[in-house]
Chain A
Amino acid sequence: MAAPLDISAYPPDGMEIRLIERFTTLKGRRILEVGCGDGRLTFQYAPTAREILAIDPDRPSIEDALDEQAALRVPNVTFRVGSIEQLPARGAPFDVALFSWSL
């Protein structure tokens, strides 16, 4: 049987996090991720973040993220279907808002 192809059109794991952390640390922070998709980037920084709200309007992508979250046992991420415009204007403040390939 042929080996599965490991092809991604995104940067290698860790590269985006290193670029972000030239501006701000994600460690111990409360983070809002907008356009999280299937959590590809979320799961890279979740181990060091304090708490993450990750949103995306695409329900199948969020369902994939929830499956991966269960498999990886990542407790500090809340995945939600929706757009940032649907987020209440008031609420506990975030330290970082991350628009990951979503502007």
Chain B
Amino acid sequence: MVHALRRAGQRLRSGGSLISIRPHETQLPLVSIITPSRRMPVARLPTPGFDDRQSAADAALERVVAERRFALTGIRNHRYRSLLDNPSQLRTYLELIIPPRPRFPPGRRARLHELWRSRPPGSKIEIAEWIVVTALRRR
């Protein structure tokens, strides 16, 4: 990763911006059932191997700043939500994520189906995800 950032630095003009958009390292995707009157969190979805990859990305960004190739301009976290009509759409949603994909912890998928079967009319499944935008400026 650090090689990719260095090469990007070679191709940026002085003062140019390097922007990274990626999933948040610690805020795991959260699946909830939204009824007309309440929100019922069901599970946070860990992604196997994700921590190592995100740590490597963080280390690479810190490295090119430490090398004084770039200066940190800022970091912003942002949450976005998707509303789905049923568990089948949730399965499709998760399959659209480039591997490695988040997974339900043991027992939580069954819990989702249990809650979904007893849902009041008008309920939805919500998946909330967090992204982090990191901005660097080429020195």
Residues of A within 8 A of B (CB): 5, 7-9, 11-12, 15-16, 19-20, 22-24, 32, 34, 37, 83-85, 87, 89-91, 93-103
Min Cβ gap B47→A in Å is 12
Min Cβ gap A3→B in Å is 11
Residues in B with CB closer than 8 Å to A96 are 12, 16-19
Q: Which residue of B lies closest to A95 (CB)?
A: B16
Min Cβ gap B129→A in Å is 8
Residues of B within 8 A of A (CB): 1, 3-5, 7-13, 16-23, 57, 60-61, 73-74, 76, 78, 80, 82, 84, 89, 92-94, 96-98, 129, 131, 133, 135
Residues in A with CB closer than 8 Å to B5 are 103
A23 touches B135 (CB 8 A): yes
| Bound complex: CA A20 to CA B8 (Å) | 17
B93 touches A94 (CB 8 A): no
Q: Which residue of A lies closest to B131 (CB)?
A: A11
Residues in A with CB closer than 8 Å to B93 are 7, 9
Min Cβ gap A81→B in Å is 16
| Bound complex: CA A16 to CA B80 (Å) | 10
Q: Looking at the complex, which one of B10, B20, B92 makes contact with A99 (CB distance below 8 Å)?
A: B20
B89 touches A19 (CB 8 A): no
